[in-house]
A and B are shown apart, each in its own frame.
Chain A
Amino acid sequence: MRRHMHGFGGRFKPEANLVTLAQLKSGQSATVVDIQGGRRMTDRLNALGIIPGKKITKTSAMLMRGPVTIEIDRVEVAIGFGMANKVMVKPDRVP
């Protein structure tokens, strides 16, 4: 029964090489794996094409929990820190 306590839409199982978008290093490319937010947040990210399976590159991050900027399909998108913290990505292996 305990596992049902974790409510909010499929809690994420920790996997070795996954990080949040906020944790990803600037300049690194990654693939979106999961979005751990509510319906509203998923909707807004979906509108901008940020969906599981999408390749992105992190451009920069502001200080003090500021927004994260990523490049997705040749377009720059800025994502608030809290939201970026809920987007799980799998970093590309650095050659």
Chain B
Amino acid sequence: MTRILLMGNPNVGKSALFSRLTGVQAMVSNYPGTTISYTRGHMKLGEETAEVIDAPGTYTLEPTSEAEEIARKLLDSGDIVINVVNAINLERNLYLTLQLLERGIPTVVALNLWDDTKHRGVDIDLEKLEKALGVPVIPTVAVTGQGVKELAENIPRATSPPHPPTTRDQRWVTIGKIIEQVQQIRHRHHTWRERLEDASVKPVSGGFIAIAILAASFFVVRFIGEGLINYVLDPLFNTLWAPVLSWLSNLMGGTGFLHDIVIGKLIDGEVDLVQSFGLLSSGLFVPFGMVLPYIISFYFVLGILEDTGYLPRLAVLMDTIMHRLGLHGYAIIPNLLGLGCNVPAILATRILESKRERFIAATLISIAVPCAALQAMIFGLVGARGIGYVAIVYGTLFIVWIILGIILNHTVKGFSPELLIEIPPYRFPPWRTVGQKLWFRTYGFLAEAIPIILGAILVINVLYILGVFDAIANFTAPVVTGLLGLPKEAVTALVIGFLRKDVALGMLAPLALSSGQLVVGSVVLAMLFPCIATFVVMFRELRWLNMLKAVGVMIVAALVTGGILNLIL
């Protein structure tokens, strides 16, 4: 089967074009480095079916990061390249184009963001560009789909004209000559959008904009999340599902092995959706009633932030602080993604250049960045004791994030490179992309979390009945009770935290903890062992040795922080 590769600089719209060509949804955002692995799809190429691969963006074939390395390796396996080029910035984009042509692989150029050229004052002579490069050049607007049909029709025309390998300087000279022939720049005045762009990376105005955007994001996430819980999911569960469970519980006699697994334990003679811990009670209420609303609200807001192009600007503002943590500003993006789910966050550390940065970032994320599922439970359970306690949990995790980062920066060998990123123009978020991404991520949560949640609850009940937890609880009592000040049964939650953090925090609910204990429990749970999915991805990205180091740091940090909190609260 013919294999078509979409190659190009970061953030030129490869993923959007990929979705248009194949109908397969790929994550699209307005910042360089959204695609850190590759996505595969298919399209019709005349009579036959061709495989299409959406590669991570790269500026050159001399890779400077992991994601770029992946792109370069993919190139060896491709038959045809669609080189996606940013029409606004031919000068730099053509560098990769020339490198691709030197490789002698049949290429067709998609001149994307074509609609922007008019109001950005860029005139490109398509015919001359085709002649200069020797390959077909098709103007496209991936977001709207304009030109995509023409591009598909022109794929068979992809050719590999002779471009002998040359030096870096010579390439720039060639590009200079091409630009002189094909491109004209008209002078134009600054628009209000550009003024806003400038203001967001200036020290004072940028700081205010950042605070305003982050505060607004937080309130919108909370508003939508709580709104969904109070007006949709709580009423649904309480009026429709709870009566069914009561009826079923009565039918099953209110107790017994099967009853405990399916319905759970009765709390004061009633089925409790949070505390009962049966498959049909907590097993459904935790993911759908408590976590899902926040997954939806968080990813809705994150999607908008991603698509406007604000995140790279936040990276610029955060750069000085992030340097103290041994990272540079761009590491703020994986950390923010971690507030949704640690798995994609740790994968996203591939946009960082050095192994050292990736180790520090992955360790910090897995320890001090709580995922949306856990946060939803923190809001639900800790928030019921007063918003002040929620603030203590977040404040503690933030302080841990900072202090741990500083420590890692001083102890991990090697050096961290400097920030060097392209900042995309602001764009009004295309609602189609925002909606698709929200669906993509919400579905991903449901598909991955629900089976594990149900499995975890089943395991919990069986282990409980078998008395395994009692044995563990007695064994770990000195640490859990002595150091953390929690009842010894709380260890079951810490163990289950390895499967799912949201379920684990739910397990603290029936223990009648004081508010202080609940805070300690939440913080330790957030910091101690990442859930199994995060564990697997950390292992894959960091390998054994670094993984073990990260786990060591994690255990020490969690116990120290928990112990200190226990003393204070």
Contact = CB atoms under 8 A, between A and B. Distances in A.
Contact of A46 (B60, B120, B197): B60
Contact of B201 (A49, A78, A82): A78
B422 A75 contact: yes
B197 A83 contact: no
Interface residues of B, number: 40
Contacts of B328: 80
Contact of A76 (B60, B329, B422): B422
Given A76-B422, A78-B420, A81-B418, A47 B320 contact: no
Nearest to B122: A74
B184 to A, nearest CB: 13
Contact of B202 (A60, A75, A83): A60
B92 A75 contact: yes
A43 B172 contact: no
A64 interface: yes
Interface stretch (A3-11, A12-20, A65-73): A65-73
Given A60-B198, A73-B89, A78-B312, A51 B172 contact: yes
B26 to A, nearest CB: 23
Contact of A66 (B91, B320, B420): B320
Given A59-B201, A66-B320, A49 B92 contact: yes
Contacts of B89: 73-75
Interface string A74-94: 111111111100000000000
Interface string B199-214: 0011100100000000
A44 B484 CA distance: 48
A75 B202 CA distance: 17
A6 B462 CA distance: 71
B168 interface: yes
Contacts of B206: 60, 62
A83 B423 contact: no
Contacts of B90: 73
Given A49-B91, A74-B89, A75-B89, A69 B64 contact: no
Contacts of B317: 62, 66
Interface residues of A, number: 33
Contacts of B419: 67, 78-80, 83
Interface string B418-437: 11111111000000000000
A44 B420 CA distance: 8
A77 B421 contact: yes
B420 A48 contact: yes
B423 A47 contact: no
B418 A83 contact: yes
A71 to B, nearest CB: 9
B422 A80 contact: no
B420 A45 contact: yes
Interface centre among A26, A61, A63 (most CB of B within 10 A): A63
B59 interface: yes
A7 B282 CA distance: 67
Contacts of A73: 89-92
Contacts of B329: 67, 78, 80
Interface of B: 59-60, 62, 64, 86, 88-92, 95, 120, 122, 168, 172, 185, 197-198, 201-203, 206, 312, 315-317, 319-320, 328-329, 353, 417-425
Given A59-B201, A77-B420, A80-B420, 6 more contacts: A67-B329, A69-B201, A75-B423, A77-B422, A78-B420, A80-B329
6 contacts: A63-B320, A66-B317, A73-B89, A76-B422, A78-B420, A81-B418
